[in-house]
Amino acid sequence: MTIMLNPRETEALNAYFRRYKVRNRSKFMREAIITAVLRKFDEDYPTLFENEPPTLFDVQD
């Protein structure tokens, strides 16, 4: 898989790598991407109830 970044994104990543002394850039990118994917999966995981609990006004006769 290949990712393309514009010059500003590349410079931002390079500044981050320098500042935090990231040596293994591939590992960093893999971990960042997988973390974002897993977080989204966790947010979208189906639940028994919606975000807000049902109220008396939601009850149908």
Handedness of CA 44, 48, 53, 54 (dihedral sign): positive
Are 5 and 13 a contacting pair, CB within 8 Å? yes
CB-based contact 36:28 (threshold 8 Å): no
The pLDDT assigned to 45 comes to 77
Question: How far is residue 38 from each of residues 7, 11, 22, 26, 58, measured CA to CA in Å?
Answer: 28, 26, 22, 18, 33
Give the pLDDT of residue 55.
65
Task: Please give the pLDDT value at position 58.
Answer: 64
Mean pLDDT per 10-residue section of the chain, whose length is 61 residues: 95 98 96 94 76 64 55
pTM here?
A: 0.65
DSSP string, 2-20: -----HHHHHHHHHHHHHT
